[in-house]
Structure 1
């Protein structure tokens, strides 16, 4: 399959409520299916939402009981992988013949540690795998643990080689190169960054990696938080906590859809994998433009890369 439609969901989850958020996921999957979307991308930690504006009762050197209660509530509404929620998303992927990627807060089944994870679903095989965010940014480190090299993955699928990084991982040059080394064609970048500069990053990655890039963010406001959590939000934050900015970019850096700001929506674009080939005529970071005699990159915990296999 060389030509098809991709979709990017910019939506508001039911914050801190995984069950209601799953209903929202189902709604958008059905809407995308009506437009014959073959690959659908959801934002970073869509289940159970990116907790923008909350401090979980912390300052350097102390924590509060109210903050621990908020964390426990967030933990309770996070999901295990695999688990009931992943089985359900796999069913939707199968029913609509659609590849789905979605950001979640994952609860480790053994340790209970939370991770910011990116999940990949196939209509044939269900949950293909996951990537755990390597380095949570700033206060994110309070709630999420660090992933490792074993989850830096791409998946060789009928729609192309699919993979990606989460939010500011995309600012890590070696992390990007690790993805490029796997021959990425469809690069997903779920994020919580709604600044104008983020779109420049998406365009740069498309040009650097010679791949399609789908940057995906949430849209939500302070008013979307449950009433009992609203008083704990930072007072210096604006009413719109995440204005979105989702975008779809071609391998030569052309914006195909978006950026979408200050509203929910489904972005779509028609793609052609032959454009990936055409774009590499004059630049290929892992091929004719590489200098493997000068530069070497190895990633701890990574399996050997084998051609034409999921890696």
Structure 2
């Protein structure tokens, strides 16, 4: 039973589109801003670095564009040393969505990096199934990276999934079975996509609340929005388009019984949605529903996860990867 309160923050912001260096600088600035608000746990949107590849939804497949995206994708841990330092400086646990590129390779993944408050990279989760046009960009992650992590001295376990990965009940149950207490659901703006204007935020809210209740966890739901750097980059490099517009996003923090305790926030403004997470309240929720216990009914339902490694570098990115202060 946990008796701990955590000051949590969910980032609602836009990256400096297709600029890894500038966006990582922005990440460090946001961490500093969150520290000024006494945030202890901070979550960033899906592939915040270098931004979501909206071009896959707007133009015909173009290998040269994916190559440009790969050049701006993040190599772990090489490109993240300064973020590790910022976590250590501000004593903050950080969950960061990135487009990850394999070191010395070209395969990309939609990944989520979890940093401990001493700068250690606890591990990297690679989205197990890229959705729709995302398959043009990212490879499939394996069950090996489907893990929860316990930051030092916190007593809680944190897990994360990206976007429509939350529709995969098996992926969610894998985290439930590992004793997840806090969940980060990373999202881009989707309500700015043609055909999704009226449904995307409702879908996100439904999926996040469903996981909060069925997993009995607090959910941080950070999301990005589309700004002029994104729209301008696509038009200058790929031509006019009418399938993505500016704005969007849905950012919130949700209690296990589903009330929204932070946010929701929408729109083209950088902000940090904050809330106090009282982990002692989990015991009350689990009296009703315990997805890793009496509500699992293992004699009726059998669940198995293949946690074998698929990619040769997975032991390098599933930490811990310490931060070298020197």
Q: TM-score, normalised by structure 2?
A: 0.85
CA distance in 2, matches of 1:233, 1:248: 37
Higher-helix-fraction structure: 2
Task: Establish whether residue 211 from structure 1 lines up as the match of residue 217 from structure 2.
Answer: yes
CA distance in 2, matches of 1:274, 1:135: 34
Q: Which has the higher contact order (CA 8 A, sep 6+)?
A: 2
CA distance in 1, matches of 2:106, 2:258: 40
CA distance in 1, matches of 2:158, 2:71: 30
Would you say the 8 A contact 1:167–1:190 is kept in 2?
yes
Task: Establish whether residue 176 from structure 1 lines up as the match of residue 172 from structure 2.
Answer: yes
Q: TM-score, normalised by structure 1?
A: 0.89
Match of 1:147 in 2: 141
What are the within-5 Å matches in structure 2 for residues 6-25 of structure 1? 6-25=8-27
Match of 1:254 in 2: 259
CA RMSD after TM alignment: 2.0
Aligned length: 295
Higher-strand-fraction structure: 1
Match of 2:67 in 1: 72
Deviation at 1:233, TM superposition (A): 5.9
Deviation at 1:259, TM superposition (A): 1.3
CA distance in 2, matches of 1:287, 1:170: 21
What residue ranges of structure 1 are gaps of 5+ in the alignment? 304-309
Would you say the 8 A contact 1:56–1:68 is kept in 2?
no
Pick from 108, 115, 135: which aligns with 1:121? 115
Pick from 150, 164, 167: which aligns with 2:160? 164
Match of 2:90 in 1: 96
Task: Establish whether residue 188 from structure 1 lines up as the match of residue 190 from structure 2.
Answer: no
What residue ranges of structure 2 are gaps of 5+ in the alignment? 192-199, 310-318, 321-326
Deviation at 1:21, TM superposition (A): 0.4
Deviation at 1:302, TM superposition (A): 5.6
Aligned CA distance change for structure 1 residues 281 and 80 (closer, same or farther; 3 Å):
same
CA distance in 2, matches of 1:201, 1:288: 23
SS in 1 for 2:10: strand
